[in-house]
Structure 1
């Protein structure tokens, strides 16, 4: 599996195709900038995984990937990250980067009632909610292509703590499930990635 990052602070994205640049020109800002740095991170991740991909355009909000490739992209505040790998080895991948904050009052949008204890004590609830949100985002990206329309949103996922990360599955679907790894970043950010678990 390959992982890579790109940032608007690097200047014009270099790891993108001309076809992706043409598509980006049809988008409003800041969507255009997010798209370009996301594709730059994706192409870097693809190379890091030892594979290749031509232009990666869009199917709605998702990247239109070649059948032999599995990948996921996330961006936050001018930084993009991507994971990629051969689909036969990594049939489900998800990544999420969060560099902002999430108010505790938004917890009901992310968690169902049985998951509320995962927030922990009030003094750490805001940072914990950001971690739970990011973990669910990564899991959603990995599982939604496998589960389809039954997985409508983050509340349709359930998280179970597992060491330093989580196991995630869709409510009503005991399988498949993904293992979500979590890395806390300086100044309150969080990076999560999800892989199909055995």
Structure 2
């Protein structure tokens, strides 16, 4: 996997991510970065847990929790320490959230679980070679890549969209969703509708934003909640 070539520096990118992120009534979105210095929006318990981790997992964990707490506050909510259940955050009851990190930048979405029973977010700042397409797409989905000239960027967007949808759907569907190839995407405006191909479960609406730096930001919301509030 090669690295996206950025114009400018990663230090300046979180501002672009914030501008590209969702504006959904009742849901918070936030960004954190290692380039800000020591993360401040984390709890003592989270810092203690981070000390048991090796790098780069430790840095990813801390900036992820920093972005999460900021997103929780942006949603008008509060949350205590968010530790781990395996690879997933151990969210307090009543909170729905998702975290993603790439190249020292983390993003998070959060909202009340009764309104957002599923949430997913994904940030990708590295290219995905076309030879990896079979790991993401089933053969009937190959036309989604479009013409060869834009196929690499399109593959990165499809990968990120499936990652966001997988994070949203897997807590609900469990073993019915084994990997990205089990997520089926249907084009829907500027994004996709996504659901598990082998299970008649919930659908999510995935929004896709191509970042000025060359990466991709995607988020998945319940189908009925997937319309962004226009930016002011």
TM-score norm. by structure 1 comes to 0.99
> 1:69 aligns to what?
95
Distance 1:171 1:65 in 2: 27
In the alignment of these two chains, the number of paired residues is 198
Q: Report what 1:191 is aligned to.
A: 217
The secondary structure found in structure 1 opposite 2:63 is helix
Show CA shifts across 1:81-119 (max 9, x none).
Answer: 000000001000000000111000000000000000000
Instruction: Indicate whether 1:53 and 2:79 are aligned.
Output: yes
The answer to whether structure 1 residue 163 and structure 2 residue 189 are counterparts is yes
Task: Say yes or no: does 1:28 pair with 2:54.
Answer: yes
Name the residue aligned to 2:137.
111
Q: Which residue of 2 aligns with 1:95?
A: 121
Shift of 1:174: 3.1
Alignment correspondent of 2:198: 172
- Report Cα offsets for 1:175-194 as digits up to 9, x if no partner: 30000001100131000000
Alignment partners' CA distance in 1, 2:200 and 2:138: 17
- Runs (4+) of structure 1 exceeding 3 A deviation are none
Normalised by the length of structure 2, the TM-score is 0.84
Aligned partner of 2:107 in structure 1 is 81
Q: 3-state SS of the aligned residue for 1:175? A: coil
Tell me if the contact between 2:176 and 2:199 (Cα under 8 Å) persists in the aligned partners: no
* Alignment RMSD (CA, Å): 0.6
- Structure 1 position 173, deviation (Å): 2.1
Q: Which runs of 5+ in 2 are unaligned?
A: 1-26, 225-232
**Structure 2 counterpart of 1:44:** 70
Return 5+ residue gaps in structure 1 as ranges. Answer: none
**Residue from 124, 129, 132 that aligns with 2:155:** 129
